[in-house]
Amino acid sequence: DKHMSSKTKVFIFWDLQNVSLQSLQSLEKLTETILQKANSLGKLSGQYVYGDVASTEKRRIQKKTMLKKHGFTYVEIASLNKNAADQRLSFDVLKAIGTHDNGHLLLVSGDNDYVPMVRMLKKADMKTTAIAKQKSASTKLLKLVDQAYFIRDLLDGKEAA
């Protein structure tokens, strides 16, 4: 129903520690694909990417610049603790989407740590979509979301490390 989808507010939350690609070119293609997917789900109302502390400084700056060019808010995670990004992202999702009756979360991650957050959104009748790497995606998370896509399928069979 077109009327419905135009009212849906779509929020992209991307965990770069869980889903990133080696080549900047592939990452940019993935970014464009994610944005297309988001726009097909409703009105894009927020796009956030959570920093990947594992990259080298030069790499990180390149990724950050490209993602900002595509309208993403880049959230730096100072802590090397992997869970710091997950907790921050979950908190921000609930804060952003919890205030909308018709929010739709597009989660770019397959991390099992997001299961509790997705459960909370589903309880509140929010729609959830995940885009994940097939190799590392949590089965539990994929079963829980309304829709799941693998990067490989979105990028014509390419799923680089």
In a 3-state reduction of DSSP, which class is residue 101? coil
Distance CA 156, CA 9 (A): 28
Q: What is the pLDDT of residue 81?
A: 73
Distance CA 52, CA 20 (A): 9
Distance CA 20, CA 118 (A): 21
Question: Quick check: 100 pLDDT over 80?
Answer: no
In this prediction, residues 19-33 reach a mean pLDDT of 91
Stronger pLDDT, 123 or 13, i.e. the higher one:
13
Q: How many CB atoms lie within 10 A of CB 107?
A: 28
In tens, the pLDDT along 41-72 reads 999 999 999 986 666 788 888 999 999 999 99
Q: Are 145 and 127 in contact, with CB atoms under 8 Å apart?
A: no
Task: Find the range with the poorest average confidence among 21-35, 50-64, 144-158.
Answer: 50-64
Question: Quick check: 80 pLDDT over 60?
Answer: yes
Q: What is the pLDDT of residue 83?
A: 78
Q: Which of 53-57, 82-86, 134-138, 155-159 has the highest mean pLDDT?
A: 134-138
In this prediction, residues 131-142 reach a mean pLDDT of 95
1: pLDDT confidence band, cut at 50, 70 and 90? very low
